[in-house]
Amino acid sequence: MKNRKFLWGSATAAYQCEGAWKEGGKGLSNWDVFCHSDKNNVNPVTGDVACDHYHRYEEDIKRMAEGGQNAYRFSIAWTRIIPDGTGERDREGIDFYNRLINACLKYGIEPLVTLYHYDLPKTLFEMGGWENRDTTEAYVRYAKVCFEEFGDRVNYWATINEPNYETLCCYGYGNYPPNVKSLERRWKAMYHMMLASAKAVALYRGMGYQGMIGLVSDCYSIDFMEDAEEYRKAAGFADLFFNISVNDVCVRGAYPEEYRDKLMEEGYDLSYMRKEDEEIFKAGCVDYLGVNAYCRYLAKPCTEKGISLTANNTGDGKKKKLFIEGWFALDEDKGLEKTPWGMEIYPKSIYDLLLDLKKRYPNMPVIITENGVGNYDSVSEDGEVHDQYRIEYLQGYVDWIEKAMDAGCDVRGYFVWSAMDVYSWINGYKKRYGLVYVDFDDQGLRRIPKDSYYWYKNTIREKGEKFDGKVQ
Ligand code: BG6
């Protein structure tokens, strides 16, 4: 399948926007349970209603098309397709996604469908989630149902969203369910996600489909403030930790030696890595790498003992803290602007990242599956949302992507996170990323396209032809 059109779109994920948590035959997910538990104590809100995209998908998709977008990335809730994770497929859930996909096609929007974006059926979660190898089998069965039901109309699939970031939150920061701090458990969960993804890729090809299937990886350009040997070494470990441990596996089809060596050297149990899996990884290389790009990371040598991982989920301006003895610590460039959640604003990072990816994986097409900035937005007296800071951020990224494409990087698409304001995981609803404002205090969940929505429409108009011409 060869699409000569550059994909210009925006993205969401099921739990963050659909709502209707107990409607349409849906089963419960780990996030439904977590958000209703007392562990949800930072911003104790839920995705029960969210943007009510479940009922309003058509108006939301129409608005994307009116904004000049030609693609929409969304995820399927596993719990709508197979409510208990492993049992029978549910017609009502399948019909919902049929309606959603058909609405995309009706408005000239190419769907890019993520099979798994953080929300795992409760039943599987209770049996150990991704730490349990059986989850990979359940996932493949679920993926097969999705390919059978939607494969005739969906040309772009993403197997799993962010194996690195999700497991870092679940088992590192400990702020996502199951809320534990254990890197040992993290490595294992991440391994099973990669295995599940590889199996799904091979299955998809084996079923004879011609579309593109990839994995969505949160990727970071890694930099350092001091040009010294120990800083370069720390940057190498940060690269291994955040990027290579995922990207090598799905692009090259094998775990890098340095990764196994490092984990073994530190005494981690790797008995779950089976010899026979090597063939599965080899057969499961992706057609494209989905890149979620938000910021760069600065690495420095870790001089402290132990491990400390602290996220900022309150938007109080504090930076997140991360150091791992024997690996690296995160550094800070005090001269750069940050969001209230401590994220550095540095658009050139996407250029550095794309060039790094091209160097390591020369023939791998990239789709920027997420790029965006979260902040406190509000409706002005004129009834509009003036998010100039977001326009500047996105403009910077698009300009640097263009430069990377001019330098030969094979980029096939760009998706803004997010299509509209959505539930921002444990950050709640105040951290907004959308091109469209959602008034969560309004019963009708009124939508207001922000200035950035109109900026995006113009950008697509201005750059569309040139970007189409660059599609390799
Ligand atoms: C990505 C996720 O990591 O970042 C999205 O794929 C998420 O689901 C986005 O919403 C922004 O992160 P957050 O935590 O600020 O909402």
- The CA 431 to ligand 1 mean position distance, Å, reads 10
Could you tell me if residue 328 is inside a domain?
no
pLDDT score of 278: 98
User: What distance in angstroms lies between residue 313's CA and the mean position of ligand 1's atoms?
Assistant: 11
pTM above 0.95, yes or no: yes
Peptide bond into 418 cis (omega under 30): yes
Probe residue for ligand 1, chosen from 424, 427, 431 as the CB with the greatest number of ligand atoms within 8 Å: 424
- Asked, as a colleague might, if the bond just before 178 is cis with ω within 30 of 0, I would say yes
325 is annotated as an active-site residue: no
List CB contacts of 106: < 8 A, sequence separation 6 or more. none
Which atom belonging to ligand 1 lies closest to the Cα atom of 166? 3
Measured in Å, residue 243 CA sits from the centre of ligand 1 at 17
For residue 127, give every residue at least 6 positions away whose Cβ sits within 8 Å of its Cβ, in sequence order, or none: 134, 135
**DSSP secondary-structure letter at 425?**
G
Does residue 431 have its Cβ closer than 6 Å to ligand 1? yes
Tokens linked to 413? 């698409």
Q: How far is Cα 448 from Cα 384, in angstroms, rounded to an integer?
A: 7
Whether 60 is covered by a domain: the verdict is: yes
* Residue whose entry in the numeric block shows the structure tokens 């030696």: 257
CB-based burial of residue 217 (10 Å sphere; 0-12 exposed, 13-18 middle, 19+ buried)?
Answer: buried
The DSSP 8-state label assigned to residue 241 in this structure reads I
Cα(426) to ligand 1 centroid in Å equals: 10
Neighbours of 198 (CB within 10 A): 26
Output the domain CATH number for residue 196.
3.20.20.80
Are 311 and 281 contacting, i.e. CB atoms less than 8 angstroms apart? no
3-class secondary-structure state, position 448 = strand
The answer as to whether 135 is a domain residue is yes
- The Å distance, Cα 318 to ligand 1 centre, comes to 18
Ligand 1 pocket, residue 165 CB under 6 Å: yes
In a domain, 299, yes or no: no
pLDDT of residue 2: 58
Helix 388-406 to helix 451-470 angle (10° resolution) is: 0
Residue 69 three-state SS = coil
Verify whether ligand 1 is closer than 6 Å to residue 374 (CB atom): yes
Q: Which atom of ligand 1 approaches the CA of 294 most closely? A: 4
Is 370 touching ligand 1 by the criterion CB < 6 Å?
A: yes
pLDDT in the model for residue 316: 86
| Residue 332 within a domain | no
Does residue 218's CB lie within 6 angstroms of at least one atom of ligand 1? yes
Residue environment code for 166-191, b if the CB has 16+ CB neighbours within 10 A, otherwise e: bbbbbbbbbbbbbeeebbebbbbbbb
Lookup: tokens for 454 = 């109109």
Domains: count for the chain: 1
Structure tokens at 330: 């995160």
Q: One of 18, 149, 166, 370 is an active-site residue; which one?
A: 370
Q: In tens digits, what is the pLDDT along the chain, a chain of 472 residues?
A: 556 799 999 999 999 999 999 999 999 999 999 999 999 999 999 999 999 999 999 999 999 999 999 999 999 999 999 999 999 999 999 999 999 999 999 999 999 999 999 999 999 999 999 999 999 999 999 999 999 999 999 999 999 999 999 999 999 999 999 999 999 999 999 999 999 999 999 999 999 999 999 999 999 999 999 999 999 999 999 999 999 999 999 999 999 999 999 999 999 999 999 999 999 999 999 999 999 999 999 999 999 999 999 999 998 877 778 999 999 999 999 999 999 999 999 999 999 999 999 999 999 999 999 999 999 999 999 999 999 999 999 999 999 999 999 999 999 999 999 999 999 999 999 999 999 999 999 999 999 999 999 999 999 999 999 999 999 8
Cα angle 112, 312, 176 (rounded to 5 degrees) comes to 55
pLDDT value at residue 8: 98
Contact call for residues 460 and 82 (beta carbons, < 8 A)? no
Give nearest CA residue, ligand 1 atom 13.
424
Report if residue 36 sits inside a domain: yes
Active-site residue 276, yes or no?
no
Alpha helices in 248-334 (DSSP H): 257-265, 277-283
Q: Which pLDDT score, from 0 to 100, does residue 3 have?
A: 64
Domain residues for the domain of 32 are 7-219+236-292+341-468
